[in-house]
Amino acid sequence: METFINPKSLFHLLLLPCLLLYSSIAYNSSPVEAAMHTNNWAVLVCTSRFWFNYRHMANTLSLYRTVKRLGIPDERIILMLADDMACNTRNKYPAQVFNNENHRLNLYGDNVEVDYRGYEVTVENFLRVLTGRHETAVPRSKRLLSDEGSHILLYMTGHGGDEFLKFQDSEELQSHDLADAVKQMKEKHRFKELLIMVDTCQAATLFNQSPGVLAIGSSMKGENSYSHHLDSDVGVSVVDRFTYYTLAFFERLNIYDNASLSSLFSSYNPSLLMSTAYYRKDLYKRRLEEVPVTNFFGSVMETIHTDAAYKALSRRNSGRFEDEMSLDQSVHHIKRRMLIKVNDGDEIHDINPEGEEGASKCPWSTFRKKFQKAENVDSLLNYGLVAMIPLLVISTWLVQ
């Protein structure tokens, strides 16, 4: 029995891989399977300059107002306006923007926070916002700090054509640029779900390159998107048809409504729009009837009730989330709760998984794959416990 000098250490040696295996499964499965909708972001872009494009700014500001009303806070809205119509010298109502000729609603009130304005609205900056590749000097308010639990609404309006959208009358965003940016976002876990809404001529062509998300455009290929009406007082068209009817849909809603995306999409009447609204959902997993519009246009998410969440929180997860705490308090509050639920009852997970993951991956990869197929973590836990019993028996026998 000279070989078994330290039977206890052997026991640990055997036990450790099992635990590591388990922990790695638990860790990896959480973003893919169990990441929950935890927060909402909106990127609203008006891409065109010049006074006669007043309506594009009005479109964007109206959408801004709507999503804000439905609960997305200002710090999670990136508002990009390519020109300043409110202070244009031609504006009959200085510092005011209207989207209706009745002038009842000033869209450019005191609480509008424009993140990118004027010549800052470029294709480069837009793609940087989406992909998160900013220079270090860019302030947090100008960044899209979304994560794998984010639902993002990307609204764009301007002048477009076949597979492009014009920015600033000087450059273009092409459909493959957009598709590439979305792909990068996906790789970087920058969103859970993304809705792209575009109001331009031939908007549908912008999704030709398959960004792999839910997308809706105001018009098909070869169609124009038209303005809704002219404000003869201001002297320009003030809103586009597609946006006008989108807003009309949302004006009826409040934050508690359960209207689904399909009801929004079917609300577009081609004869009123004078173009055919086109949406592609082939790469979207959920059924549109079950998705409330507030999932994108508002900030309403599922709340999870947990027992004694706060009691264990500070002790268990303080080390793990230390570096992420600085990001966004409320987001991670929810996220943390979710992870706790997954790991509930297993104290072992307090050890640092990031460090050991690499070591465990190689020898146990085949094993892990098999286990990944398991449907939920609870069953995995049971399997693990069962697998431990023979090991325990053998080890105690060896010790004796």
Partner 1 sequence: MAETKEKSLSDEKPKPRVRPIVRLGIFLISHSFHVSVVCCTAGVLALFLLPVLAKNTYISENALMPGSASPMLSNQHVSDGNRLVKDLTNPNSKSSETGIESHKIIAQYMLDLGAEVSFHKFHPQMNQFHPLHFFSSPDSGKIQENYSCSSYGINTVGIIRAPHGDGKEAIVLVTPYNALKSGFGEALSLGIAYSVFSLLTQVTWLAKDIIWLVADSQYGEYAAVAAWLREYQTPKFSSLSTPNAEMCPDVNNLFELKGHSISGSKFSNSFRRAGTMASALVLKVRDQNEQFEDTISIYAEASNGQMPNLDLINVVNYLAVHRQGLRVNVEKLWSLLNSSWLKSLGEIFESLAKVAKSLYPKWKFGIPATEYVEGTATLASSLYYQALGVPTGPHGAFRDYQVDAITLEISPKFSLDKVWRNDILLRGGRLIEGVIRSVNNLLEKFHQSFFLYLLTSPSKFVSVGVYMIAFALLIAPLPMVAASLYVDANSSSNCSKGDSSTPSAITDTDEHSIAIRSWRWLNSAKLVFIVHLWGAIVSLLPYFISQIPDCSPTTSFMIWVLLSILSLLTLNSVLASPLACAKATQEKEWALVKSVTISSVFIGLGLMSVINFATAEIGALLMVPMCLLAQPLKLDVRAGTLRSFCRMICNLVLGHIAFPPAAFFLLKGMLDGFGNANVGDFWMWVESLWAWNSATYLFIVEVTYIFSHG
CB of 49 to partner 1, least distance (A): 9
Distances (CA, A) of 263 to 47, 245, 266, 289, 302: 28, 13, 5, 7, 21
Shortest distance in whole angstroms from residue 48 CB to partner 1:
11
- Least distance to partner 1 from the beta carbon of 157, Å? 16
**Closest CB 51 distance from partner 1, rounded Å:** 6
Which are the contacts of 369, defined by CB distance < 8 A and separation ≥ 6? Answer: none
Which is the catalytic residue, given 46, 56, 201, 332? 201
DSSP string computed for 82-109:
SS-STT-TT-SSTT--BSSTT---BSS-
Binding site for partner 1 (CB under 8 A): 50-52, 87-94, 230, 232-237
Neighbours of 385 (CB within 10 A): 10
Whole-angstrom CA distances from 52 to 90, 236, 247, 380 are 10, 6, 21, 62
> Could you count the other beta carbons within 10 Å of the beta carbon of residue 104?
8
Beta carbons of 205 and 211 less than 8 angstroms apart: no
Considering the candidates 134, 159, 229, 333, report the single residue annotated as catalytic. 159
Nearer to partner 1, 13 or 230 (CB): 230
Residue 46 among the catalytic residues: no
For partner 1, give the closer residue by CB, 48 or 66. Answer: 48
Q: Name which of 131 and 200 has its Cβ closer to partner 1.
A: 200
What is the b/e burial string over 320-330, where b = at least 16 CB atoms within 10 angstroms of the residue's CB?
A: bbeeeeeebee
**What does the alpha-carbon distance between residue 193 and residue 319 come to, in Å, rounded to a whole number?**
29
Closest CB to partner 1 among residues 4, 52: 52
Nearer to partner 1, 93 or 119 (CB): 93
Task: Say which amino acid occupies 281.
Answer: K
Smallest distance from the beta carbon of 59 to partner 1, in angstroms? 17
Which residues carry out catalysis? 159, 201
